Structure 1
Amino acid sequence: MRLTLYFLFALLLLGSVSCQSGMEAEEMDSSVAALEITPPPNLSDRKIKKEATIRFQVKDLAESSTKIEALLEKYGATITNSQNYNQEESIEASYTIKVAPEKLDDLLKAIQAESIFLDNKTVTADDVTMQYVDVEARIKAKQAVQQKYLELLTKTSKVSEILTIEAELQKVQEELESVQAQMKALQQQVNYSTINLTMYQLVPASYSDRTNFTTRVTSALNGGWHLFKDLLVGVVYLWPILIITIAVFFLIRWYKNRQRSIV
C-alpha cells in the first residue's frame, strides 16, 4: 500500500513539473513572437540634429558678405549672430546661420561658391531621438504628477495639507518648466540646422597704412613707455656691475692723485 502511494505521488510531481515547463516554454515562445512582431523604428520619426562649419578665403569680403545675405534670404535662412575682425594681415567676418534641414546642403554649396580657397568644411548629423523621447516622457510624467496634486487640492480642506500640497505643486511646476525648456531647445536644434561660417580677405597693407594718426600716436606712446620700464628694470638687474664700475673709477682716480702728489 505504501509503495502504491509513493508511486502515485511521483506521478503527480512529474506531471506538475511537465505542466510548469510547458507553461514556461509557452510564455517564452509568446515573448519571442512578440519581439519578432514588434516593428523596427520608423526612420521618419528619428530626430536628427545637423550642424556645419565652414571657413574660406574670399577675394572681396564686403562683396561676398552682400552676396551671402542675399543667399540667406533666398533660402529662408536667418543670421543669429555675426562678428567682424581686423587682423594683422586679414579682415574676417563670421556668421551663425539657422536654416531648414532640407535646405542645408544646397545652401552650403551656394555659400562655398564665394570661396577662392577652402580652409576647412565639416558637416555632422547627430541622432537625438532617444534624448527627445526621454525628455518627452519626463514632461508627461511631470504633468501627471501635477494633475494628481491638483486633484488632491480639491479633496482637502485642511490648511496644513493645502500648504504642503501647494509647496509640492510649486516644485513640480518648476521642474516641468525646466524640462519643457529642454524640449524647446531640442526642437530648435532639430527643426533648424546650424551653419558656422567664417570668411576672410587677405590685406597685404601694413598696420600703419590701415590705422589713423591718433591710433598710431597712442600706440607709439605706449610702446615708448614699455621700453622705458624695460630699461629701468634692466638697470636694476645690473646694480652690482654699476657699483663695481664706480668703485674701480674712484680707485683709479685716487691712485693717479697720489702719484701726482708724490712727484
Structure 2
Amino acid sequence: MRTTYIRLSLATLFLLGIYSCKKGEVAASKYELSENTDSSAITVSDSISSAATMKVKDKQFIKKAEVNMEVKDVYDATISIEKSVQELGGFVTHSNLHSNVISEDTYTTSNEDAMLVKKYQTENTMQVKVPTEKLGELLTMVNNKKLFLNVRSINAEDVTSSIQYAKLEGKRIEKTGENITQLKANKDKVNMSNDNMAENNLQQLANLNVSDHIKYSTVDIYIKEPKLRIAEIAITNTKNIDNKYKFNFIYGAKNAFIEGIYLIQKILIGLITIWPILLIAAVVFYFLRKKKNTSQQTTKL
C-alpha cells in the first residue's frame, strides 16, 4: 500500500512537471507572437500615417503630403520615386534636380594638364500626384529611401460640405437658367443668359478640380544629400597655354613692319584723295611767296 502511494505521488509530480513545461512553452510562444505583432505594428505606423489611409463613411477628403528628407544619392532616389509613382498609376508634375556648387578650384598637374575640383551638394524638389488609395504605399516607398527624415506632414481636408454646397449651387444655377428662358427676348435677357452660363461653367470647373484633388493626392518631396560630393574633372592647363602664346617677338615685329607699310600706303592714299586742296594750297603759297619777293625788291630800290 505504501509502495503504491509512493508510485502515485511520483506519477503526479511527473505529470505536473510536464504540464508546467507545456504551459511555459505556450506562454513563451504567445509572448513571441505578441512581440512580433507589436514590432510589425510599429513598423507600419512608422511608415504609413493613419491620415494617409484614413477612410470615413460618407466623407470626402482631399489629401496632401509633404516629405523633406536626406538620402544617400539624390539621382538614384529620384529615379526610384518616379518609377514608383508611375507603377502606382500616378504622374510627376514637377522635378527640379540640381547641384549647388560650394567651391570650385583648379590645380595644375603638368604643363599641359590640370584638375578642376568641384565641391557640391545635390538636391531635388519634386511634386507628384498619385491615386489617393495608393498614397500610403507611396509614402512607404519614399520612406525606404531616407537616411534622415526632416519633415513629413500629411493633411486630409474634409470637403464633404463643400461638395454638397456645390451641388446646391448647381441646382440654383440651373433654376436661374430656366427662369431666364421664360423672360421676353431682349438685350437684358441675353446678358443675363451669358452671365448665368459663365457662372455655370465656373461651377463645373470647380467641381472637376475638387473631383481631381479627391481622386489624386498631391505629394511634395524635397530630397538632398547630407554631405558634400567632390567631382574631379581633367581639363587643359589654360594658364600655361596662355603664357606659351602670350607674346611672340618675331611674329610681333613682322606684323608691326607690315602694319607700318600699310600706314604709309594709307597716308599716301589720303594725300592723293585731297590733291585739290594741296594744289590750291601750293598755288596760294606760290603767289604769297612771289608777292613777298616783289615787296623785298621794291624796298631795296
TM-score tier (shorter):
0.5 to 0.7
- SS of 2:145's partner is coil
Q: CA deviation at 1:71?
A: 0.9
Partner residue of 1:74 out of 87, 108, 117: 87
Higher fraction of strand: 2
2:79 is matched by which residue type in structure 1?
T
1:237-248 → structure 2 map (5 Å cutoff) = none
Q: Does 1:165 align with 2:202?
A: no
**RMSD of aligned C-alpha atoms?**
2.2
Give aligned pairs, total: 162
CA distance in 1, matches of 2:218, 2:228: 32
The equivalent of 1:34 in structure 2 is none
Q: CA deviation at 1:205?
A: 4.6
1:1-263 → structure 2 map (5 Å cutoff) = 43-87=56-100, 88=102, 89-152=120-183, 156=184, 161-205=185-229
Asked whether the equivalents of residues 91 and 202 of structure 1 are also in contact (C-alpha less than 8 Å), the reply is: no
CA distance in 1, matches of 2:211, 2:74: 34
* Deviating 4+ runs (over 4 angstroms): none
Asked whether the equivalents of residues 121 and 229 of structure 2 are also in contact (C-alpha less than 8 Å), the reply is: no
- SS of 1:176's partner is helix
Q: CA deviation at 1:163?
A: 1.8
- SS of 1:44's partner is coil
Asked whether the equivalents of residues 62 and 213 of structure 2 are also in contact (C-alpha less than 8 Å), the reply is: yes
Q: CA deviation at 1:75?
A: 0.9
- SS of 1:45's partner is coil
Q: CA deviation at 1:86?
A: 2.6
Q: CA deviation at 1:147?
A: 2.2
CA distance in 1, matches of 2:61, 2:138: 18
Q: CA deviation at 1:209?
A: 6.6
CA distance in 2, matches of 1:62, 1:83: 11
1:140 is matched by which residue type in structure 2?
K
Larger radius of gyration: 2
Asked whether the equivalents of residues 84 and 138 of structure 2 are also in contact (C-alpha less than 8 Å), the reply is: yes
CA distance in 1, matches of 2:91, 2:189: 45
- SS of 2:146's partner is coil
Asked whether the equivalents of residues 56 and 116 of structure 1 are also in contact (C-alpha less than 8 Å), the reply is: yes
Higher fraction of helix: 1
Asked whether the equivalents of residues 69 and 224 of structure 2 are also in contact (C-alpha less than 8 Å), the reply is: yes
Asked whether the equivalents of residues 99 and 193 of structure 1 are also in contact (C-alpha less than 8 Å), the reply is: yes
Q: CA deviation at 1:194?
A: 1.1
- SS of 2:57's partner is helix
- SS of 2:72's partner is coil
CA 1:209–1:146: 2 relative to 1, 3 Å = farther
- SS of 1:54's partner is strand
- State the TM-score, normalizing by the size of structure 1: 0.56
Asked whether the equivalents of residues 91 and 203 of structure 1 are also in contact (C-alpha less than 8 Å), the reply is: no
CA distance in 1, matches of 2:190, 2:222: 51
CA distance in 2, matches of 1:64, 1:82: 12
User: Matched residues, percent identical?
Assistant: 20
CA distance in 2, matches of 1:109, 1:164: 58
1:65 is matched by which residue type in structure 2?
T
Q: CA deviation at 1:202?
A: 3.9
- SS of 1:193's partner is strand
